[in-house]
């Protein structure tokens, strides 16, 4: 039997965890030939609920699930992990603004970054889902000096998926007809879904969707505000779609991206598109199928797009300022 891949997941007793773990165990993330050991990392007071989730995982009788390990601390939880999915965190409470959330969650990610640095496998890959995910990934990356920076990513795949679904509906086509939708920047309401280079059955979106006002205004604001709209409609934040996007993110990372397409991931900026180096910024990337990726740098951005990138970059710099005491 192939050696199992160790997948550590934080926040597994939470809402996203409840969808995510079963998708991972079913093989949706790493394929039908890869056995998996799940290393589930919670806070001590959630351990009882986690026991229940583990019982349900047992009851799923997943062929690929070679082990379930439960931990109440990241040092043990990340030991030898090949993939760390950092989902857990403190949710935004009543009256909290984004800056409060940034401040409240920051310290969690210093501890987790250090634990990854000291205990995870040499080939570890990290994705951060817990919000504010770009800045949390930045903190974790700074806390893990021995792990190459490019191994730290944050999830903007949900934004890409939302954008694709919206374009497909508007154009009356299926989601699989849409390619090349780049999400730039922060996973927040400043994120920019860049539709100018997006294609519908190979044709550029602005040539297919003639309502350019809709593209420049409603499309962008709907993708940016979708998280809030879900909270208003269901009384809780996106969980199943977020879990699905997390599965997509990791699967894409380990799959060769088709030459004529790309996927969106927040990764350490190399300075591409004039963004400050080192910020965790969402870009279109192409993955090589072996766990490496490169930023797609050859999109020709117009002034409209450049302006949007500046706005979201400025917000990431503000967030970084709030947590600068946590960055090494």
Q: Which two tokens stand for residue 15?
A: 């809402």
Position among 87, 191, 208, 287 found at the interface with ligand NAI (CB under 6 A): 87
Position among 108, 183, 215, 323 found at the interface with ligand NAI (CB under 6 A): 108
* Contact (Cβ atoms closer than 8 angstroms) between residue 90 and residue 108: yes
Shortest approach of ligand NAI to residue 132 CB, angstroms? Answer: 8
Is 130 a binding residue for ligand NAI by CB under 6 A? The answer is: yes
Q: Is 119 a catalytic residue?
A: no
Separation between Cα atoms, residue 81 and residue 125, nearest integer Å: 9
Q: DSSP secondary structure string, 278-317? A: TSEEEEEEEEBSSS-EEE-------HHHHHHHHHHHHHHH
Is 14 a binding residue for ligand NAI by CB under 6 A? The answer is: yes
Is 237 a binding residue for ligand NAI by CB under 6 A? The answer is: yes
Position among 23, 46, 204, 327 found at the interface with ligand NAI (CB under 6 A): 46
Query: Of 142, 187, 194, 249, which is the active-site residue?
Result: 187
Instruction: Characterise 176 by phi-psi region: left (phi > 0), alpha (psi -120 to 50), beta (else).
Output: alpha
Q: Which stretch binds ligand NAI (CB under 6 A): 141-149, 232-240, 254-262, 298-306?
A: 232-240
Is 13 a binding residue for ligand NAI by CB under 6 A? The answer is: yes
Separation between Cα atoms, residue 326 and residue 218, nearest integer Å: 37
**Alpha helices for the chain (secondary structure H):** 15-25, 47-59, 74-77, 98-119, 133-142, 157-171, 205-208, 212-213, 220-234, 240-253, 303-322
Separation between Cα atoms, residue 114 and residue 122, nearest integer Å: 14
Is 19 a binding residue for ligand NAI by CB under 6 A? The answer is: no
Using the minimum distance from each CB to ligand NAI, give the nearer residue, 81 or 242.
Answer: 242
CA separation (Å) from 95 to 99, 101, 135? 11, 11, 21
* Window 143-172: residues binding ligand NAI (CB under 6 A): 155, 158
Using the minimum distance from each CB to ligand NAI, give the nearer residue, 10 or 82.
Answer: 10
* Window 179-208: residues binding ligand NAI (CB under 6 A): 187
* Contact (Cβ atoms closer than 8 angstroms) between residue 77 and residue 39: yes
First-to-last alpha carbon distance for the chain, in angstroms, is 41
Is 91 a binding residue for ligand NAI by CB under 6 A? The answer is: yes
Q: Which two tokens stand for residue 52?
A: 């229940």
105 marked among binding-site residues: yes
Is 113 a binding residue for ligand NAI by CB under 6 A? The answer is: no
Backbone angles phi, psi at 152, to 5 degrees: -100, 125
Q: Which stretch binds ligand NAI (CB under 6 A): 138-146, 231-239, 254-262, 310-318?
A: 231-239
Catalytic sites, residue numbers: 187
Instruction: Provide the binding-site residues for ligand NAI, judged by CB under 6 A.
Output: 10-11, 13-17, 41-43, 46, 87-89, 91, 108, 129-131, 133, 155, 158, 187, 237-239, 242
Which residues contribute to the annotated binding site for substrate?
Answer: 92, 98, 131, 162
């Amino acid at each position: 039997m192939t050696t199992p891949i160790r997948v550590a997941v934080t926040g597994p007793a939470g809402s996203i965890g409840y969808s995510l773990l079963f998708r991972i165990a079913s093989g949706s993330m790493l394929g039908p030939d890869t056995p998996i050991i799940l290393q589930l990392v919670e806070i001590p007071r959630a351990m009882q609920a986690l026991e229940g989730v583990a019982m349900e995982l047992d009851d799923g009788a997943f062929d690929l699930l070679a082990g379930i390990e439960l931990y109440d601390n990241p040092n043990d939880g990340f030991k030898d992990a090949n993939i760390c999915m950092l989902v857990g965190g403190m949710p935004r409470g009543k009256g909290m603004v984004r800056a409060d959330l940034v401040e409240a969650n920051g310290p969690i990610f210093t501890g987790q970054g250090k634990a990854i640095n000291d205990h995870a496998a040499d080939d570890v890959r990290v994705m951060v889902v817990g919000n504010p995910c770009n800045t949390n990934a930045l903190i974790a990356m700074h806390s893990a000096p021995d792990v190459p920076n490019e191994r730290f990513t944050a999830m903007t795949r949900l934004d890409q998926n939302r954008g694709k679904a919206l374009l497909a509906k508007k154009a009356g086509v299926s989601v699989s007809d849409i390619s090349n939708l780049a999400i730039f920047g922060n996973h927040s309401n400043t994120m920019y879904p860049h539709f100018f280079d997006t294609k519908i059955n190979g044709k550029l979106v602005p040539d297919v969707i003639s309502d350019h006002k809709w593209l420049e205004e409603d499309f962008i604001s709907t993708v940016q505000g979708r998280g809030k709209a879900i909270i208003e409609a269901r009384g809780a934040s996106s969980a199943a779609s977020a879990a699905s996007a997390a599965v997509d993110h990791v699967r894409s990372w380990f799959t060769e991206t088709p030459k004529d397409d790309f996927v969106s991931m927040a990764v350490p900026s190399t300075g591409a598109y004039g963004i400050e180096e080192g910020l965790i910024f969402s870009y279109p990337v192409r993955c090589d199928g072996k766990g490496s990726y490169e930023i797609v740098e050859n999109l020709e951005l117009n002034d409209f797009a450049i302006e949007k990138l500046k706005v979201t970059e400025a917000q990431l710099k503000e967030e970084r300022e709030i947590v600068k005491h946590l960055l090494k």
